[in-house]
């Protein structure tokens, strides 16, 4: 009999555990007749701000819009340069480019997959206006070094925390370092909606006011438009569902950390001879494991071996941003960011979701051992 497949990610079991509460929340919204920026959004903004320990949380349509709105609120203009890691999801660079600004791609620390602060000095020019560190896979970037550099050079900082809600660095919660933090609630995230949703957070009162205006076509008073914004509003249904899920987030985070610890125990020994390297957690970091990402010397062959055993895996990400065709006009070349380019050849995310059981994990681990 064929073994049951182990997906790289699965939401069905989670939904079964919270179905009654989710359906009650949905029914509450539908009966209210209020579907956009209503009491559910207000409540979720307040609850999430409390969870993160920030002054303001502004619900938006998705995580990509959150980045775009953050850049607009900070006054990023055409021709301005924004320092970002080249190894991340496209939205980080896309938001910069959509404003006519220039994404300046930086290499990463291969041990953490996050932006290497040493790159900032190398890429700094007179046109540099901001930095967007990405807390990739659920681990906070080296924010002490990044913030020190930003302050020294008068740069704004936007934290791309799409994958890192609940993570912390030296006791400080994500989204409390930079000027603005951006969150995604795409369904696969640790806190995921049943569709698209996002949030922009800040401790700066004037920035919060700008963000609220920008998300509603630049309007503070209805039908009066002070600036050019656009439509990026969080809807009531998603907010209500996210309120239900927020109550479970710490429990789900603890389960992810336990799953990661089990992987670590099996994969961090010396028998792999460097052919498989478990993810590294930097000192002072609380990793929330949106992904459990190893480095594998023969990555593509390992993907095939896992698939042959009914095990899913995913490559985040197969091509650096500086080598994407859409950015060819910027003139960057292979070899410009060697650590990130190596990550695109070796990074592999193993199955990771709170409901993943140890029997399934053992199958993953045994398959890797047999392959190596």
pLDDT tens across 193-242, in order? 999 999 999 999 999 999 999 999 999 888 999 899 999 999 999 999 99
Q: Where do the structural domains in the chain lie, given as residue ranges?
A: 12-246, 249-371
pTM score: 0.96
> Cα 295 to chain center, whole Å?
19
Label residue 270 by pLDDT band (50, 70, 90): low
pLDDT tier for residue 246 given thresholds of 50, 70 and 90 = very high
Cα(351)–Cα(175) distance, rounded to whole angstroms?
27
> Which pLDDT value is given to residue 274?
82
CA 164 from chain center: how many Å?
5
Looking at residue 3, what is its pLDDT? 80
Q: CA end-to-end span of the chain, whole Å?
A: 26
Whether the per-residue pLDDT at 1 is higher than 60: the answer is no
Structure confidence by residue, pLDDT tens digits, 299-353 = 999 999 999 999 999 999 999 999 999 999 999 999 999 999 999 999 999 999 9
Q: Is pLDDT at 36 greater than 50 in this prediction?
A: yes
Tokens of 160: 């791309």
Indicate whether 176 pLDDT > 80: yes
The arrangement of secondary structure in 12-246, i.e. its CATH architecture, is 3-Layer(aba) Sandwich (3.40)
Residue range 249-371 in CATH 3.90.1150.10: yes
The structure tokens listed for 283 are: 């000192």
């Amino acid at each position: 009999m064929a073994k049951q497949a182990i997906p790289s990610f699965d939401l069905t079991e989670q939904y079964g555990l919270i179905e009654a509460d989710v359906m009650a929340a949905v029914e509450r919204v539908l009966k209210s007749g209020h579907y956009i920026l209503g009491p559910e959004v207000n409540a979720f903004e307040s609850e999430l701000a409390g969870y993160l320990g920030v002054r303001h949380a502004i619900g938006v349509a998705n995580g990509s819009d959150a980045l775009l709105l953050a850049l607009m609120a900070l006054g990023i203009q055409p021709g301005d340069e924004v320092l970002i890691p080249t190894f991340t999801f496209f939205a980080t660079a896309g938001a910069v480019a959509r404003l006519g600004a220039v994404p300046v791609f930086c290499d990463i620390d291969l041990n953490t997959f996050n932006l290497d602060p040493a790159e900032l000095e190398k890429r700094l020019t007179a046109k540099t206006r901001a930095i967007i560190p990405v807390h990739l896979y659920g681990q906070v970037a080296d924010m002490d070094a990044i913030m020190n550099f930003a302050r020294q050079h008068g740069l704004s900082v936007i934290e791309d925390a799409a994958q890192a809600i609940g993570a912390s660095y030296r006791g400080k919660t994500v989204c409390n370092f930079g000027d603005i933090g951006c969150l995604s609630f795409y369904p696969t995230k640790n806190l995921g909606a049943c569709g698209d949703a996002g949030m922009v957070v800040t401790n700066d009162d004037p920035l919060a006011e700008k963000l609220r205006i920008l998300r509603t076509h630049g309007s503070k008073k209805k039908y009066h438009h002070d600036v050019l914004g656009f439509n990026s509003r969080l809807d009531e249904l998603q907010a209500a569902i996210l309120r239900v899920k927020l109550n479970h987030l710490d429990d789900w985070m603890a389960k992810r950390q336990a799953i990661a610890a089990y992987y670590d125990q099996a994969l961090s020994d010396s028998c792999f001879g460097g052919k498989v390297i478990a993810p590294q957690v930097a000192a002072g970091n609380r990793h929330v494991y949106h992904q459990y990402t190893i480095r594998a010397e023969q990555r593509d062959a390992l993907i095939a071996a896992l698939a042959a055993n009914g095990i899913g895996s995913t490559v985040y990400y197969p091509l650096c941003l500086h080598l994407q065709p859409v950015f060819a006009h910027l003139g960057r070349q292979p070899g410009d960011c060697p650590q990130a380019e190596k990550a695109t050849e070796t990074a592999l995310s193993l199955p990771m979701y709170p409901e993943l059981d140890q029997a399934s994990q053992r199958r993953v681990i045994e398959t890797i051992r047999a392959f190596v």
